[in-house]
Structure 1
Amino acid sequence: MTPVNESLLEFPCDFPIKVMGKMQPDFADTIIALLKTFDAQFDAARVEMRPSRAGNYLGLTVTVRAESRAHLDDMYRALSGHPMVTVVL
């Protein structure tokens, strides 16, 4: 059994996060700007965008550079708490 404080991830690492929100013209740019506050080297060119079938939502897959578990958790909290974001996976 893995102790509670240990992680299965080795840091630093690249970690994909899926972010969904309502289709808005500035959604992707806003999420990219938010992530750049955590990683100035965040590469916006690596963001994958996929609209929902009906075109009401936009899904982004962003690959972030996580320096530690706390850093990754902070990014998740910032994304989850953003008013434009519906779901973070």
Structure 2
Amino acid sequence: MTDGLPPHVRLANEIAIQFAHLDFTDGATRVAKHMHDFWDPRMLRALFTYKDTTGQDLDPLAAAAVDHLRHPTDPQPPPRESRPQT
């Protein structure tokens, strides 16, 4: 799944894996906090653009983190059928 992905997408997916054991909303919040605290703004903009244009290979938790960064008070989990199986 990570072959050929842009670096910011690959990294977002790898971070999401680290928080996949948590409740979805808590995991998305923590991924978003990590991105906010440690990512360069250019990486965030590239990730936002990727999610807006295709987003097909973005982990659902990473996608929710992007939404949380845009709207910090409203992180919504995706429908259950689109969540990864753990």
State the TM bucket, normalised to the shorter chain: 0.3 to 0.5
**Structure with higher RCO (Cα < 8 A, 6+ apart):** 1
| Structure that is richer in strand per residue | 1
Length-normalised TM-score, structure 2: 0.32
| Structure that is richer in helix per residue | 2
**Bigger Rg, structure 1 or 2:** 1
Length-normalised TM-score, structure 1: 0.32
